[in-house]
Amino acid sequence: MRIGHGYDVHRLVSDRPLVLGGVTVPSQMGLLGHSDADVLVHAVMDALLGAAGLGDIGRHFPDQDPSYLGADSLKLLDHVMVLLRQNGWRVGNVDATILAQRPKLAPYLDQMRDNLAVRMGVEPERVNVKATTEEGLGFTGAGEGIAAHAVCLLEQRTTV
C-alpha cells in the first residue's frame, strides 16, 4: 500500500462558475484557473499521483498547454487513473476536505463523492468528501479563495 497527499488553492473571482468535484455549485463567485479550476479534483489527483510516485498535475497537465484551457478536471482524473492502472495501482480510499467560507457545500458533498468514486472506479464508501470553513480566518475565511486537501491510499493490484 502507498499513501499520498494533495493540496490545492484557487482564487475566487466574480465571472466564473464554481465547480467542485465535478458539481457546478450555485454561487456568485467561481474559481479562477486555466482548467475549470476544480480545486477538489486537483487535490485528489495530486494525492493519487503522489502515492504512485508519479509527480504532480503540473507535470502531467501544464498550465501553458492550450489543450487544457477550460478542461473538465474529471477528464484529467480519468487520465490519472489510466496512469495508475498502467503502474499496477488501484484506489484503496480517498479522504478530502474543502476549505471554503461560502457557499454552504453540504448539499453537494454526496454528489462530489459519487463523481469521484465513479471516475476512480471504486465504491462510494471508499471516498469521503468533507467541507469546513476556517472561521473567517485567512484567505479562505476572507472569501478570497478556496483550498482543498486530499489523502489517499493506493493498493497494488493483484490481478492486472
Alpha-carbon span 137 to 42, nearest angstrom: 23
Alpha-carbon span 134 to 113, nearest angstrom: 22
Query: Is position 149 an interface residue for Mg ion (rule: CB under 5 A)?
Result: no
Alpha-carbon span 40 to 9, nearest angstrom: 9
Residue number closest to Mg ion, CB atom: 42
Closest approach, Cβ 158 to Mg ion, in A, equals: 33
Residue 126, all three cell numbers? 471508499
Q: Which amino acid is at 51?
A: A
Point out which residues pair with 25 in neighbouring strands. 18
Q: How many residues bind Mg ion (CB under 5 A)?
A: 2
Closest approach, Cβ 8 to Mg ion, in A, equals: 4
Closest approach, Cβ 7 to Mg ion, in A, equals: 10
Closest approach, Cβ 118 to Mg ion, in A, equals: 21
Q: What are phi and psi of 111, to 5 degrees?
A: -65, -40
Pick out residues in 8-37 that bind Mg ion (CB under 5 A): 8
Count of CB atoms situated within 10 Å of the CB of 132: 12
One character per residue 39-78, x = contact with Mg ion (rule: CB under 5 A): ---x------------------------------------
Q: Which is nearer to Mg ion, 39 or 131 (CB)?
A: 39
Residue 102, all three cell numbers? 461560502
The site for Mg ion (CB under 5 A) is made up of 8, 42
